[in-house]
Structures are given as structure tokens and as C-alpha cells.
Chain A
Amino acid sequence: MNPLAAIGRTFLAFLSATGRTVTFAALALFHCATPPWYPRLIVRQVLDIGYYSLPVVGLTAVFTGMVLALQSYTGFSRFQAESAVAGIVALSITRELGPVLAGLMVAGRVGAAIAAEIGTMRVTEQIDALTTLSTNPFRYLVAPRMIAATLTLPVLVLVADVIGVMGGYAVSIHKLGFSPTVYLASTFDILKTMDVVSGLVKATVFGFLVALMGCYHGYHSRLGAQGVGQATTYAVVSGSILILTFNYIVTEIFFPE
């Protein structure tokens, strides 16, 4: 075993996987952007992806906001800088934690479900059946999920932003003894449109990535139940890693310093 050869092989495999993913993404984009669309399917996916993710995302947001308030209070009280709590909560939630945590939750819930569903359809020849019924699987399966996830995640994140800030507010008022008016005033004082917008742009990108990874791994699922299980795992792991990677890239674009 030559270690250099092993490294080389891994690198080549990585490149070819990247190439396949980019090709898949391009095909998916093409089918998202051109008619015919299937509105019924898109609506169903919006419900599946968006509506049913609300509880998970909401709970994540509220506890994150609460813990942020508590942590930053205990931290900043060492410098008598407690008044920064409201700003820290608002900025962290809207810029970072709202989109990233919602994205990761959705990657776990939705990315896995998409991969399992499409993977099962691959394994049971339902995707071949679609083709023989003159229906393009990219149009029928991939595009509705990509469109729905890309449109829905920003809405989810907006909800998460509000709930997260409320969580921080609740802890600050009821536990840390802040005055409601002062807390709200400093929140809105610090928060700029760009903070929220950058978070929503992130959410759009994350929604696209989660659905892309779910569809890609499901579509290329290996045969058998094991293949579907593997596709599901890959979808969640690669979706999460891409979210964290693109989180940095989008941040860099919005706030280049």
C-alpha cells in the first residue's frame, strides 16, 4: 500500500464527486427555471418542508435566544457591559444562529426525508417507471423539492429570528431584570436591515443546499435497503457540512470588513 497513491485516489474521488454534484445541481437548476412546473407538488413540498419544520425550528430558536441572553449577561457583567445583551442576542440570532441552526435542523429533518424518499423510489424502480411514463424525474421529483426548500427556508428563518429574539427578551426581562422598553429600544437600535437580510440570503442558500444533497444522494442511491440508509446519512452529513462552509462564504461576501 503506497500512502501517496491512497491520498491521490481519495483526492481524485473527491474531484469526481464534486463534478457529479455540480452537474446534478446545474441540471436541477435548469429544471427549476423552465416550465412545465407542477404547482400541486410544490405546494405539498412547501407544507412538508416548511410547515412541519416549524415546531423544530421554533423550539431551537427560543432556547438559543434564551441561552444567548443568559450567557452574554454572565459574560458581560464582568465588564459592567450588561447593556450589550440585547444587541448580542439580536445580532447573533439574525446573522448567524437563526439561519445556521434552522438550516442544520432542516438538513436533519428534510434532507434525510428527501434522500430516503427518492432513494426508495430509485431502488424500487419508481424513477425508471416515471421515465417510461414520459415524465422527467428531475421535473417531477427534484425541481419541486428544490424550489420548495429554497423558498421556504427564509420564511422559517424569519420566524426563527422573531422567536429567538423573543426568547432572549423573555429571559432578560423575567430573569435578569432588564426593563422591557430599554431592552426593545436597544434591540432595534442595533439591528440593521442588512443583519436580517444577510441571514435570509443565507437561509435561501441553505435551503437550496439541503434539498440538493437530499435529491442527489437519493437519486444516486445504491440498490437495497442499505443503499437508501447510506444515502440518507450522506445527505444529512454533506448537507450540514455545506451549510457551515457556505455560511462562511456568504458572511465573507456580506461583511468583508
Chain B
Amino acid sequence: MTDGTAKISVRGLKKSFGRKTVLDGVDFDVAPGESLVIIGGSGTGKSVTIKCILGLIEPDEGTIEIDGDNATGLGGGDRDALMAKFGMLFQGGALFDSLTVWENVAFRLIRPRGASRREAREAAIDNLGMVGLGEDVADLHPAELSGGMMKRVALARAIAARPDIVFFDEPTTGLDPITADVINDLIVSVREKLGVSTVSITHDMASVRKIADRVAMLHGGRLVWTGSAGEIDASGNPFVDQFINGHADGPIAMDVRRP
């Protein structure tokens, strides 16, 4: 934070699919070491926002800077170099089901970095330890894991190469409240240990309260509210209030009912 350069800086981000506008001018910054959480209803474009930053989706308009350098329209080697700064936990885990758990976790260490398989396996087991999994799962295949274990393995894979920025797409969705809380704790501890910046997406208010420094609410293609995690209950913003309280009535519901 000392030099004032944001880790991630997004300005005027726009993306449409066909005639459907998903993002319509999104702006935000993430400071070094900060945890930003993006909340919003289903289909509002939270995943699309992250995928634009990762370069998986090409934005229609707007700029994205990582550490002050442009991150849009990169190809080949530049893209790979940028990817080395990122870790991503996908919404569905996205573990490679043809590989074992440890090969998944060590994937980046083996392929692009060329570590030996023995070294990589040891590193993978270290990382599995960080997310509370023992060596016994290392040789299983992803299909043999429960949902909670899969999220942990995906988390271990996301942090294995020590990225600067980690993205979490709905890390607790589909888990029971206790497992979800364990994942939240893991996210917090990983962030403290590694000092990374994080951008998380969630619908889960318990998760927001636990992992967020700052919260941004996405609605109608824009961020309708941004504030610190402490302010969220007194935001005075009708969208945020409705989201927190989970009421069907309010500005968001009216939007949904419009034909």
C-alpha cells in the first residue's frame, strides 16, 4: 500500500453476450493484501468479472491493470507470465479428473515450472496440509472426494505456486454450514500466511462477514455499493439491505419481475 499502486485496477469494464449486457461499466481497485468480496444475485456477472480479469473472457470495453500493467488483450508468453501471479478457485472446483489429487495440486509446479515429480509431490503434500488434508488423499482421484474435500484440494491447487492474487468463486456454495465455516477459516489463514490479495465471490453472508475487508455489490451490470465490511449492515443502500436480509421484496425483486 506504500507505493499507492493497486494490485488490481478495473475501470469501465463492459461485457455483453449477444444482445444481453452483463457488465455495464464496472470500476474497482484492490489494494495489496486486501480482501475484496463481490456479492450479488445469480447471473449478475460476478463470475464474468473475475474471468475478464483472468483473461478467460475478453472484455468489450474498459481497462484492467495488474500492478499497474495492462492486462487485457495479452497473448502467449505475456499471458502465461501474468497467470503466474494468479491463483483461481473455480466455482465447481474444476479439478482435472484424469489426474490424482497431488498431481492436480502440483500441476503448475510440474508443467510450466519443470519441477521433478518427487519434489512436486512433496510440495503438493505440504499444500494439502495447509488446507487440512493429509497425505492419504494425495493418491485419490477427484471423483473419490466429497464436495468439501474437493474445495480444499482446489484451494490447495490455487495457492500451490504462491500467487500474489487469489480469486475465489463461491468457495462455500453447496457445503454444509460447518464445512463452509472451515473453508472460510482456511481462506483467512491462507491470506494471513501468504499475504496475498484476494477477490472472492459469494452469496453467503456468513462468508462475507468472515473474509471481507471490503464489499462490493454488483447489480444491473454495475457496482451499486462499495464499502468496508463493517459498514455493510448500515449501508443505507436498498440493494444491499435486501441482499443481506434475503427478502423477496425490494428493488432487486422488482427488477426480476419486470418482463
The chain A residues found within 8 Å of chain B, CB to CB, are 121, 124-126, 128-136, 140
Contact = CB atoms under 8 A, between A and B. Distances in A.
The 6 closest A-B pairs by CB, nearest first: A129-B94, A125-B94, A134-B80, A134-B112, A132-B88, A134-B83
Contact of B112 (A124, A126, A128, A135): A135
Contacts of A140: 111
B84 interface: yes
A125 B83 contact: no
A129 B107 CA distance: 10
Interface in B171-195: none
B209 interface: no
A106 B172 CA distance: 42
A59 B54 CA distance: 49
B8 to A, nearest CB: 15
A130 B90 CA distance: 11
A130 B97 CA distance: 12
A135 B91 contact: no
Contacts of A136: 80
Interface of B: 51, 54-56, 80, 83-84, 86-88, 90-92, 94-97, 107-108, 111-112, 157
The interface residues of chain A, by DSSP majority, are classed as: helix
Contact of A128 (B56, B95, B108, B157): B56
A55 to B, nearest CB: 23
A135 B86 CA distance: 13
B56 A133 contact: no
Given A125-B94, A128-B90, A135-B111, 16 more contacts: A121-B96, A124-B94, A126-B94, A126-B96, A128-B56, A128-B94, A131-B55, A131-B83, A132-B83, A132-B88, A134-B80, A134-B83, A134-B108, A134-B111, A134-B112, A135-B108
B224 to A, nearest CB: 27
Contact of B96 (A129, A131, A132, A134): A129
Query: Which has the most chain A C-beta neighbours within 10 Å: B84, B90, B91, B94?
Result: B94
A136 B112 CA distance: 10
Contact of A133 (B51, B55, B97, B111): B111
Given A133-B107, A133-B111, A134-B83, A124 B54 contact: no
Nearest to B111: A135
Given A132-B54, A134-B80, A134-B112, A125 B107 contact: no
A128 B90 CA distance: 9
Given A128-B51, A128-B56, A135 B94 contact: no
Contact of A125 (B55, B80, B92, B97): B92
A132 B112 contact: no
Contacts of B108: 133-135
A46 to B, nearest CB: 16
Query: Which has the most chain A C-beta neighbours within 10 Å: B84, B87, B97?
Result: B97
A137 to B, nearest CB: 11
A102 to B, nearest CB: 26
Given A126-B96, A128-B51, A128-B56, A133 B90 contact: no
A9 to B, nearest CB: 16
Contacts of A128: 51, 54, 56, 90, 94
A62 to B, nearest CB: 33
14 contacts: A125-B94, A126-B95, A126-B96, A128-B51, A130-B96, A131-B54, A131-B83, A132-B56, A132-B87, A133-B83, A133-B108, A135-B107, A135-B111, A135-B112
B14 to A, nearest CB: 21
Contacts of B112: 133-135
Contacts of B55: 131
Nearest to B87: A132
Nearest to B160: A133
A193 B87 CA distance: 56
Contacts of A134: 80, 83-84, 108, 111-112
A128 B50 CA distance: 12
Nearest to B91: A125
Contacts of A124: 92, 94
A125 B90 contact: yes
A132 B51 CA distance: 10
A132 B86 contact: yes
Nearest to A140: B111
A207 to B, nearest CB: 22
Contacts of B84: 134
A130 B88 CA distance: 11
A140 B157 CA distance: 18
Nearest to A41: B98
Contacts of B80: 134, 136
Contacts of A132: 54, 56, 83, 86-88
